[in-house]
Amino acid sequence: MREGQQKIAVYPGSFDPITNGHIDVIVRALHIFDSLIIGVTKNPEKKPTFPIDKRLKMIKESTKHLPNVTVETFDGLLVEFARKKKAQAVIRGMRALSDFDYEFQMALTNRKLDPEFETIFLMTDANYSYLSSSLVNQIASLGGDVKGLVPKAVEKYLKRTRKK
């Protein structure tokens, strides 16, 4: 990277919905990088709770207080998206050791596709180590309180979804 060049990272995921654990990783990434692109992708292995346009809206509302964060969708290979955005690295959040095998395999595969591809693993705060989007969705669907697990904007969407 040339001196004076902006340090850009991509934080990819389905974010269905974004949680406070995700926000924690975003804030930590902003301490390392000048700007962060949240890349929202469709995961063909999952049936989303929220359509992609709602996820984008929730993420934008939840990160509007954070400088230098943009939110975009992407299809296809992560390495291609990162290259197109001139990102120097990809951020991956880690909750527990159980995440490591999958994330490590993905990082090595991406590096095989692009030898200059860097993955940076950031551990989420211990307060969120158990938290996942699917757990939040399950709690909300059963009428549980998700306060403190997700940003306030997401709480509102989950309450609206639950009332339907």
Active site residue ranges: 22, 46, 95, 133
**Which of 44, 49, 38, 45 minimizes the C-alpha distance to 73?**
38
**Which of 147, 82, 144, 152 minimizes the C-alpha distance to 117?**
82
Q: How far apart are CA 80 and CA 110, in angstroms?
A: 10
Neighbouring CB atoms inside 10 A of 126's CB total 8
Compute CA distances 133 → 16, 35, 45, 94, 128, whole Å: 6, 24, 14, 13, 11
Q: How far apart are CA 129 and CA 135, in angstroms?
A: 12
Q: Which two tokens stand for residue 22?
A: 């995700």
Element (H, E) at 54: helix 52-63
